[in-house]
Amino acid sequence: MSQSAEKIRCDACPVMCYIAEGKTGACDRYANANGQIIRCDPLTILNKRISDGGEIIPFLKSQWDGSLIRDDEVFVTANGAGTTYPDYKPAPFIVSREIDGVDFVTVVTEAIFSYCGVKVKIDTDRHIGHEGAVVRVNGEAIGHVMTSEYGSQMLSLGGVDHLTGGSKAEGRVTCDALMKLCNKEAVELSVDGGSTVVVKAGHAPIIDGHQEERMRVGCGSATIGMFASQWIGLVDEVVVVDDHITGVVSEHQAGKVIDWPNTGIKILGRRSTPGRYFQVAEPGLGWGGTNVEDPLSILGPWNGKKGAKPGLTMLMVSTTGEQHGYYVLDDDLKPQKQDLPETLQPSVDLIAENCEPALCTVLFMGGAGGSLRSGVTKNPVKLTRSVQALKTSVTCGGAPLYVWPGGGITVMVDVTRMPDNSFGYVPTPALVAPLEFTVAREDYKTLGGHDAAVRSVDDVLESGGEYGDNVRAISPPPGSELGARNTN
Amino acid sequence: MLATPTDMESAQAHLLADGKRLHLHHGPIDLIIEAFGADRDAAYRSAAQRFETILTELVGELPLLRERAVSNRTFAGAVARRMQKAVEPFCAQFVTPMAAVAGSVADEILAAIQNVPEMRKAYVNNGGDVAFHLCEGETINAAISGLPHGRITMDFTQPFRGIATSGWRGRSFSLGIADSVSVVAADAASADVAATMIANAVALEGCPRVKTSPADELSPDSDLGTMLVTIDVGELYPEEVDLALDQGAKVAQSLLNCGLIGGAVLQLHDEIRAVGLPADRQSYPNEIPARKLIDA
């Protein structure tokens, strides 16, 4: 993520362009990506032969006999592996499509999302920063911590203000981070007043250098509810330590219904309902998302009058089973740590076993409400209405997506369901993403679609492929909605 | 689909999937060619042979071609000479011969095709800058995308053999904010430079919703150097659109008056201006799909 605008010289053709970081050369085929020349060639990706490892017939200086290879494989595959590779800028192939009665097209355009961002879900109990805290990459603000959700911390990154409203560096860093996140690459994010998190879509988060393994089985109270019956008879008290809701089996409804005896335990927290405590400590990176390193610190004095007695046993465990301790009250009713009895090990393992792997999920969110639509229909709002009425389906690189109710066409898509490297960017800055509208031909007519250009749904997709990203054929990823419509 | 280039690529030729059109590619040049006549293969062979050295000829004189044009400068290459000729009428202003490079390449290749006997009609499309050849009785249809999806039809009797489009969203940088300016002229090189100059004139000085960047920051060896080129155009007030289009249309009108162009169609946001060409929607009955900015 170099900030320096290092220019490098491309040696792909005799022009030998100097190309600045993140830019393409004069051909729009070769680009400088992180100091390396990469190829981003819409023709290549549309050419099956090349994607299969072949090459276009080169000129042979003296031997070329003038025979021209009829290349049926060119343009047939919107299905090649790289078909969703972003067009940094439209190459001239957009003019190569034949239209009935028209000899050629003269056009200048570009397909970009300047209204977009990502929502990141990080499966962890750990506190990575306060709600509303600014999230940074390389010191530039790119978003903030959202309201936390079940077993996870949520981030909202990008959006038009960071992309275009802030400083130039902020826009550039935001765009770069969004593109990497969307392309399933790892990005290190630092939260003001909180942690540093490495986020990679579909992988475990790494929080302050520690890789998260498991997502909590439930909150502390839920854990009590799930496992109370497995603990009865094996231990006198169980405390599931959780920053959100710490559970205590002897007091909890789940314990009461199986006649769990009182223990005289005292939790230092705000009691919500019996056996359920809020705010037993501060949020942090310790037990159950608290800042607790020694779980005994959340306990007050034991009350002999309410059931505490020497020899009473207690299991303390976190919501993932990752941390646990076994204690026995001494003659002064002070808990003393002992080894976990073998009989209790299975219940701790069961908590861990019931946890799902902790993952980072990245949802791309973008608005396709504006002028994009006029490439699809003469009357853009009809497209919006058709999408909202579910007559026109929208996909992102063939992946199903969620269309927000309300105005516009605002969509969210899980980037792990999209083909690799689906996203690109333009220096505007804005992301380039594939987006497809699929509509039955009859509906397309009523939409005021450019019907003269339509022959079939496949054709709509294919034509789009040559014209641009707004309506284009893409490589259907396994299980995607378009997979069944794959013609090649 | 990422690959690191290994050997420097040479010129390439192949037929498109329709089996009718030729695609020539070398470096930044992509040509789509179609010829109609007795011996199409001969035409394509001639085009391909001429194309083989076009880029290296240009590269040899690139440093001077990227400098501000001055009158009567001489160049060795045929394409470079076409470029110089096309920018000659504009030397009083800032322009470099590169403003005519795409059209000049198209003209040069078209000339190679015209040499083949019995060519009724042909066109060479260089990324939207097109040179065409017509025999008596032939017409050619150009679709201008974005125009309410219209067409321009030209026939043998009209003295125009080139059409070109320029705009800030295109492959070349623009000093202006026009979405596109399409120009018809005697040849593609003249249309190319005229479209560039008209598009440059469609401008709004100091408008905060027009984002610019020094050209050499985007492309270190741009012929425009540190000049500010348009990188984004936000929402504009109707008066701003009108003002910008008026300025462009004025330039187009003066070029028309001088006989340098046959007409121009200017587009900015949803507004269209036509100079010397019909621009009413009825003139463009057929729709073609356009690729548009995905901007909300």
pLDDT digits (tens, 9 = 90+) for B47-88: 999 999 999 999 999 999 999 999 999 999 999 999 999 999
Q: How far apart are CA A422 and CA A120, in angstroms?
A: 18
Share of chain B above pLDDT 70, in %: 87
**Could you report the per-residue pLDDT of B148-203, keeping only the tens digit for each?**
556 788 889 889 999 998 888 777 789 999 988 999 999 999 999 999 999 999 99
Instruction: Give the bridge partners for A47, in sequence order.
Output: A74
Contacts of A371 (CB under 8 A, 6+ apart): A380, B292, B293, B294, B295
Candidates A450, A390, A365; CA nearest to B288 is A450
Mean pLDDT throughout A272-297?
89
Please give the residue that has the higher pLDDT: either A174 or A26. Answer: A174
Which residue of chain A has the CA closest to B212?
A428
**pTM of the predicted model, to two decimals?**
0.49
What is the model's pLDDT at position B108? 98
Which residue of chain A has the CA closest to B23?
A96
What is the model's pLDDT at position B111? 97
What is the model's pLDDT at position A155? 97
Is a pLDDT exceeding 60 seen at residue A22? yes
- Across the interface, of B5, B22, B294, the residue whose CB is closest to A30 is B5
Is a pLDDT exceeding 50 seen at residue A405? yes
**Could you report the per-residue pLDDT of A110-159, keeping only the tens digit for each?**
335 667 899 999 998 788 999 999 999 999 999 999 998 888 999 999 98
Q: Do B17 and A71 touch (CB under 8 A)?
A: yes
Mean pLDDT throughout B4-26?
72
Token digits of residue A385: 């209405």
Q: Mean of the per-residue pLDDT values for chain A?
A: 73
What are the φ/ψ torsions at residue B200 (nearest 5 degrees)?
-60, -30
Token digits of residue B132: 């065409």
Is a pLDDT exceeding 80 seen at residue B262? yes
Most B CBs within 10 Å, among A62, A73, A107, A163, to test the B interface: A107
Which residue of chain A has the CA closest to B61?
A15
Contacts of B1 (CB under 8 A, 6+ apart): A39, A40, A41, A44, A45, A51, A80, A81, A82, A85, A421
Name the band, by pLDDT with cuts 50, 70 and 90, for residue A469.
Answer: very low
Token digits of residue A390: 């579910």
Mean pLDDT throughout A23-33?
73
- How many Cβ pairs closer than 8 A exist between chain A and B? 291
Of A195-209, B190-204, B230-244, the least confident: B230-244
Which residue of chain B has the CA closest to A38?
B4
Please give the residue that has the higher pLDDT: either A468 or B244. Answer: B244
Q: Can you list the positions of beta strands (E) in chain B?
A: 12-15, 22-26, 29-37, 119-126, 129-134, 139-144, 150-155, 162-166, 180-185, 210-214, 228-233, 263-268, 271-275
Token digits of residue B33: 């060619």
**Could you report the per-residue pLDDT of A235-259, keeping only the tens digit for each?**
999 999 998 899 999 999 999 999 9
Contact call for residues B4 and A39 (beta carbons, < 8 A): yes
Tokens 């504006």 belong to A370
Type and span of the H or E element at A350: helix A345-353
> Count of alpha carbons within 13 Å of A177, Cβ hemisphere only?
32
Residues of B in Cβ contact (< 8 Å) with A113: 294-295
Is a pLDDT exceeding 80 seen at residue A376? no
Alpha helices, DSSP H only, in A183-250? 220-231
Is a pLDDT exceeding 80 seen at residue B96? yes
Most B CBs within 10 Å, among A106, A185, A383, to test the B interface: A106
Residues of A in Cβ contact (< 8 Å) with B27: 12-15, 26-27
Alpha helices, DSSP H only, in B88-223? 101-114, 188-201, 215-218
Q: Do A106 and B163 touch (CB under 8 A)?
A: yes
Residues of B in Cβ contact (< 8 Å) with A378: 287
Q: Which of A314-318, A413-417, B169-173, B285-289 has the highest mean pLDDT?
A: A314-318
Q: Cβ–Cβ contacts within 10 Å for residue A55, how many?
A: 11
Whether the bond into A429 is cis, omega within 30 of 0 = yes
Q: Do A106 and B130 touch (CB under 8 A)?
A: yes
Residue at A353: amino acid letter = E
Is a pLDDT exceeding 60 seen at residue B290? no
Candidates B145, B174, B179, B176; CA nearest to B269 is B179
Of A237-246, A380-389, A458-467, the least confident: A458-467
Candidates A372, A359, A361; CA nearest to A433 is A372
Burial of B59 (0-12, 13-18, 19+ CB in 10 A): middle
Mean pLDDT throughout A345-353?
89
Mean pLDDT throughout A79-97?
27
Please give the residue that has the higher pLDDT: either B191 or A484. Answer: B191
* Helix and strand element counts for chain B (H, E): 8, 13
Kindly report the length of chain A.
Answer: 488
Q: Kindly report the nearest CA distance between residue B85 and chain A, in angstroms.
A: 22
